[in-house]
Structure 1
Amino acid sequence: MPIRLIERRPDVSPDRLLSECVPPPRFEPVRFGTYRPDPAEPSQATALAVLRERGTTLAKPRQERTWWRRKAAEQPGKAGVYLDGGFGVGKTHLLASLWHEASGPKMYCTFVELTNLVGALGMRRAVEALTPYRLICIDEFELDDPGDTVLISRLLGQLVEAGVQLAATSNTLPDRLGEGRFQATDFLREIQGLAARFDVLRIDGQDYRHRGLPNAPTPLTDAEVERLAAGRDGASCDHFVDLHRHLAELHPSKFGALLDGVTAVGLQDIREIDDENVALRLVVLADRMYDRDIPLLASGVPLDRMFDERMLKGGYRKKYLRALSRLIALARAGMGQDGRHGDEEERE
């Protein structure tokens, strides 16, 4: 009998949320030594050298934090580094490598995970929990929600004052490759008072994989999804509408726990989405599934038609494209096809 995700209501402690803030499994083995700069793009070698230097400093044992030491440390360098560039140039590879190089305590999360953490803990408790960290790495810093950006700017401002080092990457749309400097300008404007604390490193280069979405596999039937899920230990099976209604009742910080022990996710009767709230919750679920390499068994509309055309042209477009790329990869994995290379972030 398949698991029903709609019957789960996980309770997630703050300690668990913080313990899960590490690079996803696909970036566990990466290091600076495994990054291969393109000889035709010198900015890649420059970024590697700068981050190696920061990593060397952060690998040293941490000195006691005093007001004098904190002020002295602020003078020669800046508290943050921002990697700006398009898809497939290795920003996430470099960010994860910096995290691996640094001594702890340290934290690695996406921008969405950080906003979810603040939402779950509240600003005061989040500041208290994160102040002891030496380094916080934020992947996919998103600029499409001014409210979230200002919230995180407030948080990071307080952490920088406490001596926390920061590193972040951008999330530039595929059709904006070459316009990364605008992305950097947006970032510096949105983080307001923090801007002077960041060094911006532009990483140029072509995406070493395809651009755009891979082809979505042919959907299964509802009966096939049920049958395949029933034949896999630990697989779940839910109707699409039932699941997205259930997600509306859970805080997004609990979506990872919702998938505990799940070996495959079956979704029956996927329909085109025209509701932004529903879509954004499914984006978070797709991210948590992808982090855990959980295959997808899907029926209904093809995955590349899950978000309507209006939404794919709107302000959250990059989130939807990322989710589609990931879900298509997971669906191919679920059907025994090679679908693990469709995401824009993976860098060997």
Structure 2
Amino acid sequence: MTPSSKYNEFMQQSGFYPDQAQQHALYLLDRLYENVERNESEQGLITKFVRILGISSKQVRGLYFWGGVGRGKTFLMDIFYEVLPIKNKRRFHYHQFMQQIHDELSITRKGKNPVKEIAKNLARKTKVLCLDEFVVTDIGDAMLIGRLLDALFDEGIILITTSNTPPEELYKDGLQRASFVPAIDLLDQHCQIANLDGGQDYRTLGLKHTKLYQVPHNRAAIEIIENYLNSHLVSVKQHDSLFINGRQINFEFCAEDTVWFSFDELCKTTRSRFDYLEIASLFNTVIITGIEAMNEGTMDVARRFVSLIDVFYDRRVKLICTADVVVEELYQHDFLAFEFTRTVSRLLEMQSLDYIGQTHFV
């Protein structure tokens, strides 16, 4: 099944209508799909012999999708990833990937060219690399990414990535930006650039037709959430876990830039503001089910919940919840009353059309 056939199947099931920008992106994905398949089938003794001799074969160009929030960039990349019939493919959120690279650098710095060594190790198990939310704001990443991309492309890795900005605006006005410009040139050279602006904001469209705060928390509320997920997302993982700041956290559901946690997992286990910041950087939409009323006996839980909502609100994370009580009755005690007044106000605002239409801050 090609990316376009998978896309058309999904569109028929969801009732959405494709737009022109996505059709062009699908054309590029189908071509890349065919090129990767052809490239894989040609791998054999002759190819290995050519590589041993140091003769470079023609590099398959990757893709760089950019555009505003909700244009389907991640959705399209994940369709491609799901249907691509090869084993040596990997998908990361950009921040996760760079954190992994920094961790590996701390181990391999003794070598002459640690970045090259990391790229070689990655290439042993990766032919196609998908990176979601490519954004460069940190000077450390900016100084590293050019060398890293050069090494990855030199190893023949094909990059498919999504971003909110075109390559030429990455790390705009950043410190020592001139040192970052070669990275932009590498992206232009090794990836086709496609703009997905101008179409329907599918993410906001789905949220506009979903009740974002469900009371009570029961099977009917869960079914509403499941229907939303099944009609809007692909490449689903269920009942698994991820690592946040080195610690495991279990989720009910994860796909694209959406994750579903239980209230107990987020607020009744030992979590910090830094954990919530990491979640907010990785996911545009977070679902929390089973939110309970809090009081003097659950102060630590209440503090974590206040911190969580503050972080998600500041980063403009879209929030879908089920709860035992309405927002105004979530906390019943004088201590923390001031802080929780702010939490209640923010929870109410986060259900508004104005809020869900705002850009997610990574």
Interval containing the TM-score (normalised by the shorter chain): 0.5 to 0.7
Verify the 8 A CA contact 2:136 2:142 in the aligned structure 1: yes
| TM norm structure 2 | 0.53
Residue by residue, what CA displacement relative to the aligned partner does 1:260-305 show, whole Å, maximum 9, x if unpaired?
Answer: 8997343559xxxxxxxx7554232457799997746375476895
Verify the 8 A CA contact 2:66 2:194 in the aligned structure 1: yes
What runs of 5+ residues in structure 1 fail to find an aligned partner?
1-29, 173-179, 221-250, 270-277, 313-319
Residue by residue, what CA displacement relative to the aligned partner does 1:204-239 show, whole Å, maximum 9, x if unpaired?
Answer: 21313438x98975999xxxxxxxxxxxxxxxxxxx
- For residues 48 and 54 of structure 1, the distance between their equivalents in structure 2, rounded to whole angstroms, comes to 10
Whichever residue aligns with residue 276 of structure 2, its letter is: L
Find the counterpart in structure 1 of residue 27 from structure 2: 49
Matched, 1:146 2:142: no
Matched, 1:97 2:90: no
Written as runs of structure 1 = structure 2, the 5 A alignment for 1:34-183 is 34=9, 36=11, 41-60=19-38, 61-62=40-41, 63=43, 64-65=47-48, 66-67=50-51, 71-74=56-59, 78=61, 80-100=62-82, 101-122=84-105, 124=114, 126-132=118-124, 133-170=126-163, 172=164, 180=165, 183=166
- For residues 294 and 308 of structure 1, the distance between their equivalents in structure 2, rounded to whole angstroms, comes to 12
| TM norm structure 1 | 0.55
- For residues 290 and 296 of structure 1, the distance between their equivalents in structure 2, rounded to whole angstroms, comes to 20
C-alpha deviation, 1:119, in angstroms: 2.8
- For residues 293 and 70 of structure 1, the distance between their equivalents in structure 2, rounded to whole angstroms, comes to 50
Whichever residue aligns with residue 282 of structure 1, its letter is: Y
Whichever residue aligns with residue 49 of structure 1, its letter is: Y
Matched, 1:31 2:31: no
Verify the 8 A CA contact 1:95 1:137 in the aligned structure 2: yes
- For residues 323 and 133 of structure 2, the distance between their equivalents in structure 1, rounded to whole angstroms, comes to 26
- For residues 57 and 99 of structure 2, the distance between their equivalents in structure 1, rounded to whole angstroms, comes to 33
C-alpha deviation, 1:49, in angstroms: 0.5
Find the counterpart in structure 1 of residue 204 from structure 2: 210
C-alpha deviation, 1:192, in angstroms: 3.7
Count matched residues: 246
Percent identity, aligned pairs only, is 18
- For residues 102 and 152 of structure 2, the distance between their equivalents in structure 1, rounded to whole angstroms, comes to 17
Query: In the superposition, relative to structure 1, how do residues 96 and 306 fare at CA in structure 2: closer, same or farther (>3 Å)?
Result: same
C-alpha deviation, 1:137, in angstroms: 0.3
Written as runs of structure 1 = structure 2, the 5 A alignment for 1:251-330 is 252=244, 254-255=246-247, 257-259=248-250, 264-266=262-264, 281-285=275-279, 295=289, 297=291, 300=302, 306-307=310-311, 312=314, 320-321=315-316, 324-325=317-318, 328-329=319-320
- For residues 282 and 323 of structure 2, the distance between their equivalents in structure 1, rounded to whole angstroms, comes to 16
Find the counterpart in structure 1 of residue 168 from structure 2: 185
Verify the 8 A CA contact 1:263 1:294 in the aligned structure 2: yes
SS in 1 for 2:202: coil
Select the structure that is richer in strand.
2
- For residues 307 and 10 of structure 2, the distance between their equivalents in structure 1, rounded to whole angstroms, comes to 32
Verify the 8 A CA contact 2:276 2:312 in the aligned structure 1: no
- For residues 42 and 69 of structure 1, the distance between their equivalents in structure 2, rounded to whole angstroms, comes to 42
RCO higher in structure (CA 8 A, sep ≥6)? 1
Written as runs of structure 1 = structure 2, the 5 A alignment for 1:237-252 is 252=244
- For residues 336 and 59 of structure 1, the distance between their equivalents in structure 2, rounded to whole angstroms, comes to 53
Residue by residue, what CA displacement relative to the aligned partner does 1:103-136 show, whole Å, maximum 9, x if unpaired?
Answer: 1211011101101211332264642431121100
C-alpha deviation, 1:97, in angstroms: 1.9
Choose 1 or 2 for highest CA Rg: 2
SS in 2 for 1:138: strand
What runs of 5+ residues in structure 2 fail to find an aligned partner?
109-113, 171-179, 217-242, 253-259, 295-301, 327-350
- For residues 308 and 286 of structure 2, the distance between their equivalents in structure 1, rounded to whole angstroms, comes to 21
The CA RMSD over aligned residues, in Å, is: 4.6
SS in 2 for 1:166: strand
Whichever residue aligns with residue 153 of structure 1, its letter is: G
C-alpha deviation, 1:189, in angstroms: 4.1
Residue by residue, what CA displacement relative to the aligned partner does 1:150-194 show, whole Å, maximum 9, x if unpaired?
Answer: 433322221110111110001x3xxxxxxx5xx332239472452
Whichever residue aligns with residue 63 of structure 2, its letter is: V
